[in-house]
């Protein structure tokens, strides 16, 4: 007998089975149930870039802040998978959940931490020769790296992958303060 959770809603999301998703939601399926990775149906829909499914799940009470074992929220998953429309929708949902209206009026608290470039260069995917090892760079809340403490200014590294996020959280002990 398997110890894995039975997750029919997650499986329906993975299969893009809209009718099954609707049936499961109508019958009271746990919209926030997590799989063996800690991912919810919303996490999978965000990673797949499916805005229609993301909307259905949010309308049915999906927790936009619930993260998996990788500590990524659905918005971070959508962003890393390069789904800008879904990322924007989830950012708006986060702002609504915080009770602050739209993301335009409730900008995320910017957070970054300075690290020696020599330490960042040890991470997976860091470009060769991008900077001098004696430089300092800033790791931001979305795991991008810039020369400036301002996000999106003088970007050094923006190829965020699960491996990069794991390196930052485990090796650098980077933790976005909420």
Instruction: Report whether 59 contacts 38 (CB < 8 A).
Output: no
Reported confidence tier of residue 68, pLDDT bands at 50, 70, 90? confident
Residues in a beta bridge with 114: 138
Helix crossing, 41-48 with 84-97: angle to 10°?
Answer: 140
User: What local confidence, expressed as pLDDT, does residue 100 receive?
Assistant: 53
* Phi–psi pair at 158, nearest 5 degrees: -140, 15
Residues 12 and 85 in one domain: yes
Distance separating alpha carbons of residues 105 and 95, to the nearest angstrom: 9
Q: Do the domain assignments include residue 29?
A: yes
pLDDT tens digit sequence for 72-93? 899 988 887 888 889 889 999 9
Please tell me the distance from the alpha carbon of residue 138 to that of residue 150, in angstroms, as a whole number: 8
Question: Full-prediction pTM beyond 0.75?
Answer: no
- The boundaries of the domain holding residue 167 are 112-171
Residues 144 and 69 in one domain: no
Helix ranges, 8-154 (H): 8-14, 18-26, 41-48, 51-59, 74-80, 84-97, 117-120
Residues 35 and 88 in one domain: yes
Of 47, 64, 97, the last residue of a domain is 97
Let me know whether 128 and 69 are in one domain.
no
When divided into structural domains, the chain yields a total of 2
In angstroms, the CA 148 to CA 153 distance is: 6
Strand, coil or helix: 33: coil
Asked which of 32-46, 53-67, 73-87 is least confident by mean pLDDT, the reply is 73-87
**Residue 139 reports pLDDT greater than 60:** yes
Same domain, yes or no: 53 and 83: yes
Identify the CATH number of the domain in which residue 55 sits. 1.25.40.20
């Amino acid at each position: 007998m398997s110890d894995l959770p039975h997750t029919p809603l997650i499986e329906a999301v993975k299969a893009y089975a809209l009718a099954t998703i609707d049936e499961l939601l109508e019958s009271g399926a746990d919209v926030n149930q997590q799989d063996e990775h800690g991912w919810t149906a919303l996490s999978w829909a965000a990673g797949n870039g499916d805005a229609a499914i993301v909307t259905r799940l949010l309308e049915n009470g999906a927790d936009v802040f619930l993260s998996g074992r990788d500590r990524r929220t659905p918005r971070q998953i959508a962003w890393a998978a390069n789904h800008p429309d879904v990322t924007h929708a989830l950012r708006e949902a986060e702002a609504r959940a915080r009770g602050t209206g739209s993301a335009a009026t409730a900008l995320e608290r910017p957070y970054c931490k300075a690290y020696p470039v020599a330490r960042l260069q040890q991470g997976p995917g860091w470009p060769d020769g991008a900077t001098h090892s004696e430089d300092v760079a800033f790791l931001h809340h979305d795991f991008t790296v810039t020369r400036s403490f301002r996000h999106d200014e003088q970007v050094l590294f923006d190829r965020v992958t699960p491996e990069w996020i794991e390196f930052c959280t485990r090796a650098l002990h980077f933790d976005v303060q909420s």
